[in-house]
Amino acid sequence: MKDLAPDIYRQRLVVEGYPKNPITAEQIKDYLSKLSGELKMVTLLEPIAHLSPKFGWAGWIHWETSGAHFYAWDRPRVFFSVDIYTCLKFSNEDAVRFTKEYFDATEVVWKEV
């Protein structure tokens, strides 16, 4: 993909995994708040979470330098997916480690985009 804005720093990370237990709205909001501290992001809008009866949980936090989206399913399996996008450099390894530990995930995969 051609970089249309090479003078603007962007970093994207997707982390997915299998948590040991289903994830709640309160966990989503707490995770996103703590992820902010872990990655040294400045929060502009406190995290929100919303349940779609058909597709599961979604959450979002707004940072000064962009934000993160969180998705969680209970079926067909207990699973989560996190999309982190920011214009401030952060450690992928710290984000993955924190996410795995927070949800006590049995397996985690990640990809920088």
Q: What is the pLDDT along the chain (113 residues), one digit of tens a residue?
A: 999 999 999 999 999 999 999 999 999 999 999 999 999 999 999 999 999 998 999 999 999 999 999 999 998 999 999 999 999 999 999 999 999 999 999 999 999 98
What are phi and psi for residue 50, nearest 5 degrees? -145, 140
Residue pair 19/105 in contact by the 8 Å Cβ criterion: yes
Burial call 67-83: b when 16+ CB within 10 Å, e when fewer: bbebbbeeeeebbbebb
Give the domain extent around 27: 20-86+95-112
In the prediction, which pLDDT does 63 show? 98
Paired tokens of 51: 């349940």
In the prediction, which pLDDT does 94 show? 98
What total number of domains does the chain contain?
1
CA 37 to chain centre: 13
104 within domain boundaries: yes
9 within domain boundaries: no
Q: Which residue carries 């809008």 as its tokens?
A: 45
Residue pair 101/19 in contact by the 8 Å Cβ criterion: no
